[in-house]
């Protein structure tokens, strides 16, 4: 009877350890989802910053990005090609859109977006 008790206690300890490890794992996943993008944005050394993002539905989202001091509205969708629109103004006021001129930051930004899309796929 003593060996049965030892075996039961051993199984309970193993089950408790498994539950503890799984709880720590899922807590880490939750915290990474909630705060991971904040930590990633601070660690990035590039010129590109995500100022705000909104999911419109499961397959469409819009982002306000800052690239070298200029702001852009980027719309992603199911089609796979993001729409990029330069913005004039700040996030608290009204925006005016403008068309990119030759050799401007907008063309650099669009090129970097294309590179990022092709690199991730």
Domain residue spans in the chain? 1-45, 46-120
CB 60, CB 83: distance < 8 Å:
no
Q: How confident is the model at residue 100 (pLDDT cuts 50, 70, 90)?
A: very low
Q: Which two tokens stand for residue 44?
A: 């990035």
* pLDDT for 97: 45
Most confident of 18-27, 51-60, 81-90, 106-115: 18-27
Task: Provide the CA 67 distance to its chain's centre, in angstroms.
Answer: 17
Highest mean pLDDT among 7-11, 45-49, 66-70, 117-121: 7-11
Both tokens assigned to 7: 């075996």
Overall pTM > 0.85:
no
CA distance 68 to 109: 9
- Please state the length of the chain: 121
Average pLDDT over residues 61-84: 82
Nearest-angstrom CA–CA distance, 96 and 72: 11
- What DSSP character marks residue 99? P
């Amino acid at each position: 009877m003593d060996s049965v008790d030892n075996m039961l206690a051993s199984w309970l300890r193993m089950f408790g350890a498994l539950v503890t490890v799984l709880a720590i794992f899922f807590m880490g996943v939750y915290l990474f989802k909630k705060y991971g993008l904040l930590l990633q944005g601070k660690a990035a050394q590039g010129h590109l910053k995500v100022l705000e993002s909104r999911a419109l539905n499961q397959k469409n989202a819009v982002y306000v990005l800052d690239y070298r001091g200029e702001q852009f509205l980027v719309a992603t969708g199911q089609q796979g090609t993001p729409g990029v629109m330069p913005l004039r103004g700040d996030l608290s006021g009204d925006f005016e859109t403008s068309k990119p001129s030759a050799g401007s930051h907008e063309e650099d930004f669009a090129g970097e977006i294309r590179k990022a899309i092709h690199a991730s796929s």
